Structure 1
Amino acid sequence: MNQPHNGMPATLLDGIVWRKSHFSNPSGNCVELAALPGGGVAIRNSRDPEGPALIYTRRELDAFVRGVKGGDFDDLII
């Protein structure tokens, strides 16, 4: 696997398993996440699976998920 870095094509992340929320709809309006060797997490747009991947540490993802659960981003939801 190439060294994961932000913006790299998601297709270069070999040997990982992408998954999405069961809240996703059939139109593909979702993001997909994958655990990376070494503890990071990759995120990609499900509509563009060959597009760029964003790479986060588990601590960064934890802070984001806590913010979502705490309502920090509710004003961004349509």
Structure 2
Amino acid sequence: MQNFTNGMASDLIPGTWVKSRMSEANGMCVELAALPRGGVAVRNSTDPAGPALIFTAEELNAFLDGAKKGEFDTLGRPN
């Protein structure tokens, strides 16, 4: 069994990478892939062989809950 770690090359992670349909036409988006034993890998779509961040299902669920509640709405916007 493969051990998935933060910073590993994304192209070493098996499976299908998924990105939002809202992604910009030039491909600037975050992509996610489900890991075989649970959890999720996250990568930058403009660097498909670049480093991946690995999150447990619980960590991802906490993030998604915060995003749905608007907790991160001020991030990513010009000041």
TM-score normalized with structure 2 length? 0.91
Deviations 1:8-27 (A, max 9, x none): 0001113x100101111111
Displacement, 1:70? 0.5
Alpha-carbon RMSD: 1.1
1:8 has 2:20 as partner: no
Displacement, 1:28? 1.3
- Between structures 1 and 2, the one with greater helix share: 1
Displacement, 1:59? 0.5
2:3 maps to a residue whose letter is Q
Deviation above 2 Å: which 4+ runs of structure 1? none
1:61 maps to a residue whose letter is L
1:7 maps to a residue whose letter is G
Gaps of 5+ in 2: none
Deviations 1:9-65 (A, max 9, x none): 001113x10010111111112100000000110000000001000000011000000
Query: Are the counterparts in 2 of residues 19 and 33 from structure 1 also a CA contact under 8 Å?
Result: yes
- Between structures 1 and 2, the one with greater strand share: 1
Number of residues paired by the alignment? 77
SS in 2 for 1:27: coil
Partner of 1:72: 71
Partner of 2:30: 31
Partner of 2:19: 20
